[in-house]
Amino acid sequence: MQTAKRFVSRLTRQTLALVLAGGRGSRLHDLTKWRAKPAVPFGGKFRIIDFPLSNCINSGIGQVGVITQYKSHSLIRHIQRGWGFLRGELDEFVELLPAQQRIETSWYEGTADAVLQNLDIIRSHQPEYVLILAGDHVYKMDYGTMLAHHVENDADITVGCIEVPLDEASAFGVMSVDDELRVTEFVEKPEQPKPMPGQPGKALASMGIYVFSTQVLFDELMRDQQMDGESSHDFGKDIIPSVIKRLRVVAFPFRNPVENKPAYWRDVGTVDALWQANLELIGISPELNLYDSHWPIWTYQEQLPPAKFVFDDDNRRGMAVDSMVAGGCIVSGALVKHSLLFSQVKIHSYSEISDSVIYPDVEIGRHCHIRNALIDRGCRIPEGTRIGFDEADDRKRFHVSPKGIVLITPEMLGQDYPHGL
């Protein structure tokens, strides 16, 4: 056991992780109008980017680059504030890599191009392995196990994968594997995904996580660059499908080792998925346990007072039931049911909130009734507002998702966006 731990520890020390955090996240509509998807708040006090970054630190990977591009101000500020605790003298860092036109005179044109344009920086760190991560998924994962799988299988490239329902697989890269987990086919976002053998309702989907032996990465990026005009310079669309027959590409199934089932992993890329994943955390025993001290999620944390609940009259009682409430919140004579309140939310008397996700610095006036809502940072909800009860009326003012979740932003209310999205 100790030998195995030392083996994994050596691999993580020889690895550079690159988090691709430049995506627009257009399916989140107005939530990503002024912020990148990895900067979207999640879980009461975190941002989505905190999950892959925490996985790196908890896995023993202390060298991390975050590649940014789209409306990255709030993301950059969050990382500067919350991720500066690593020890530079031990060669540990979370390094920001914004689009700088280091090689081309264009911005990043795809996930592979984003890595290619930072090739000189990667070389300067001299890693044995490069771990490519998506910065917009929520999960807990020990990357050391995946690195060990990569080395033990003598792989050139290892692709993290998870089972997904067949009717959802068109949103992912879908792969087929042989009995030794070698990838035999890879199709990015197919219209008709191929089911897994023996499981007609499931497909094997890429998580957007790749381990490359470093020289293989360099060679394939340079090869892809020469295909300009024929390639979109994307790992899933171009590089992985093109190397399956030439190189040894191995799948790494992401599973819960205790229960022997697919592990928790969420692509919170739509309003419905984001709302649902947040409210799942309220459950008695949620799949994603934020209270797990053995695998903590690190983040920037403001110094705030405890949440407060005031008034205890029969018709004016400040209380929250079956909910999560972050620091700095004041529930004043209002009722909150099955909802998640981020920091510094203020809810005034006689209001009732249910099945809703309320982002930081929101103020909800008196006599409001709100359900099935996702309210963006800094909104000021006027007194007497009703949301989630009349879909036709909600559509006139707000964005309503396919499953009926109402997204409200300051701009929709005729208000200015707050500083610090």
Q: Residue 137: which CATH number?
A: 3.90.550.10
Q: Is the pLDDT of residue 230 over 90?
A: no
Residue type, 139: Y
- Note down the domain range covering 357: 308-413
Q: Counting Cβ atoms within 10 Å, is residue 257 exposed (0-12), middle (13-18) or buried (19+)?
A: exposed
Q: What pLDDT, on a 0 to 100 scale, did the predictor assign at position 3?
A: 56
Percent of the chain with pLDDT over 70: 97
Task: Indicate whether 137 belongs to any domain.
Answer: yes
When the pLDDT of each residue in the chain is averaged and rounded to a whole number, the result is: 93
Q: Mean per-residue pLDDT for 68-83?
A: 90
Q: Is the pLDDT of residue 1 over 60?
A: no
Task: Indicate whether 302 belongs to any domain.
Answer: no
What pLDDT, in 10s, does the model give residues 331-372?
999 999 999 999 999 999 999 999 999 999 999 999 999 999
Instruction: Give yes or no: residues 137 and 255 share one domain.
Output: yes
Task: Indicate whether 421 belongs to any domain.
Answer: no
**Of 239, 266, 281, which closes a domain?**
281
Q: Is the pLDDT of residue 284 over 90?
A: yes
Name which residue leads in pLDDT, 6 or 106: 6
The Cα 40–Cα 289 span in angstroms is: 19
Instruction: Give yes or no: residues 66 and 172 share one domain.
Output: yes
Q: Which pTM was predicted?
A: 0.94
**Axis-axis angle for helices 143-152, 50-59 (nearest 10):** 60
User: Among 8-17, 103-112, 116-125, 339-348, whose mean pLDDT is lowest?
Assistant: 103-112
Q: How many domains does the chain have?
A: 2
Instruction: Give yes or no: residues 169 and 100 share one domain.
Output: yes
Backbone angles phi, psi at 52, to 5 degrees: -65, -35
Residue type, 226: Q
What pLDDT, in 10s, does the model give residues 14-44?
999 999 997 777 889 999 998 999 999 999 9
Q: What pLDDT, on a 0 to 100 scale, did the predictor assign at position 87?
A: 78
Q: DSSP per residue over 160-227, as a string? A: EEEEEEGGGGGGSEEEEE-TT-BEEEEEES-SSPPPBTTBTTEEEEEEEEEEEEHHHHHHHHHHHHTT
Binding residues for alpha-D-glucose 1-phosphate, as ranges, are: 108, 173, 188-189, 206
Binding residues, as ranges, are: 108, 173, 188-189, 206
